[in-house]
Amino acid sequence: MEKENLAEPIRLKEFEGRISRGEKIEPGDWMPDEYRNQLIRMISQHAHSEVVGMLPEGAWITRAPNLRRKMVLLAKVQDEAGHGQYLYHAAETLGVTREEMLDALLSGRAKYASVFNYPTLSWADVGIIGWLVDGAAIKNQTMLAQCSYGPYSRAMVRICAEEGFHMKQGKEMVIRYAQGTDEQKKMTQNALDRWWWPMLMMFGLPDNVSTNSNVLKRWGIRTRSNDTLRQEFINELVPELHALGLNIPDEDLRYDEDNDDWLSGEIDWDEFWRVVRGNGPCNKERIETRRKAHSDGLWVREAVSAYASHMEKRSQL
């Protein structure tokens, strides 16, 4: 019997069998609507995060302190654009169009990582973002490279390799500045004070309130929980930041000997929702910048589609 004609429960059972055997699901394969919708939601939000994520650091390209730093930052920001491209492509394989996704972003309906709605006030922010924000992204994305959906997992492998360089350049900067002049130390501490909490929010809501976690785990999209990844990252960061003489802006941070964990104070989830709902310090500016980039790029899109239709007509002659 043709697969398309199988009854829904049988197809679902087959699908779940594939997930539990660790097989990759590919674009033309049958998949439950919930699986498809969760992937579209997550991959498109991820793509938007990469593209909007270019803006905070991009603001410092013209003000980099020397040519080497400028070249590194240019390459990093350009990489993030590439990540957006891979991810939009991966989402397109699920039946959503690029136009639909961009429309959701530019109209303000789509979500993207809340961390990118905060301003970059000094050059040290570039170092802290590279180490902490790219580091948090990698922690999550290394897991997503095992995701059950083939195009997303393959995009993640490449993205993680590039993010690894991003994190290293940020860490190198922070290590230098934390041991540099008093002014550099102050600037670095100030950047850490402002980015620490938004970075922790990147991992998503706590496990007991996350609405999506269980569904994502069921379908093999995620294998580890938001809190597990957040805790693992805190455990890695705290000793390294302390070793550099930096203070973590959390009065309740404490070491739990029994579990070998650095336990953080309460994350301000009210602030998180304020920012996610559009009222963070830079939400409006970020969307305006993307809208302008989109309208400035109209002539490029028109030229590309005119060229494509010209080539198609020629091939029919």
Which is nearer to ligand FAQ, 193 or 227 (by Cβ)? Answer: 227
User: Which range touches ligand FAQ (CB under 6 A), out of 9-17, 118-126, 196-204, 259-267?
Assistant: 196-204
Which is nearer to ligand FAQ, 133 or 241 (by Cβ)? Answer: 133
For residue 113, give the nearest of 1, 273, 263, 276 by alpha carbon: 276
> Can residue 50 be called a binding residue for ligand FAQ (CB under 6 A)?
yes
> Can residue 289 be called a binding residue for ligand FAQ (CB under 6 A)?
no
* Residue 18 and residue 25 in contact, taking contact as beta carbons nearer than 8 Å: yes
Minimum separation from the CB atom of position 226 to ligand FAQ (A): 5
Minimum separation from the CB atom of position 74 to ligand FAQ (A): 14
The DSSP code sequence of 20-84 is HTTPPB-TTS---HHHHHHHHHHHHHHHHHHHHTHHHHHTTGGG-SSHHHHHHHHHHHHHHHHHH
Number of residues located near ligand FAQ, criterion CB under 6 A: 28
> Can residue 203 be called a binding residue for ligand FAQ (CB under 6 A)?
yes
From candidates 210, 228, 231, 289, binder to ligand FAQ by CB under 6 A = 210
Residues pairing with 110 in the sheet: none
33 is written with which tokens?
Answer: 């609507």
Can you say whether the dihedral through the CA atoms of 23, 207, 85, 30 is positive or negative? positive
State which H helix or E strand residue 309 sits in.
helix 298-316
Compute the distance between CA of residue 263 and CA of residue 243 in angstroms, rounded to an integer. Answer: 18
Compute the distance between CA of residue 205 and CA of residue 212 in angstroms, rounded to an integer. Answer: 9
Minimum separation from the CB atom of position 208 to ligand FAQ (A): 11
User: Which range touches ligand FAQ (CB under 6 A), out of 43-51, 168-176, 282-290, 296-304?
Assistant: 43-51
From candidates 153, 213, 264, 283, binder to ligand FAQ by CB under 6 A = 213
CB atoms within 10 A of CB 203: 23
From candidates 19, 61, 175, 205, binder to ligand FAQ by CB under 6 A = 205
CB atoms within 10 A of CB 241: 19
Tell me the per-residue interface mask from 65 to 104 with ligand FAQ, x by CB under 6 A, - otherwise: ---------------x------------------------
Compute the distance between CA of residue 295 and CA of residue 292 in angstroms, rounded to an integer. Answer: 5
User: Which range touches ligand FAQ (CB under 6 A), out of 18-26, 64-72, 132-140, 295-303?
Assistant: 132-140
Which is nearer to ligand FAQ, 189 or 280 (by Cβ)? Answer: 280
Tell me the per-residue interface mask from 138 to 177 with ligand FAQ, x by CB under 6 A, - otherwise: --x-------------------------------------
| Residues belonging to the chain | 317
Minimum separation from the CB atom of position 207 to ligand FAQ (A): 8
For residue 31, give the nearest of 214, 223, 224, 220 by alpha carbon: 220
Compute the distance between CA of residue 42 and CA of residue 194 in angstroms, rounded to an integer. Answer: 26
Give the binding site for ligand FAQ (CB under 6 A).
Answer: 41-42, 45-46, 49-50, 53, 80, 111, 113-114, 129, 133-134, 137, 140, 201-205, 210-213, 216, 226, 276
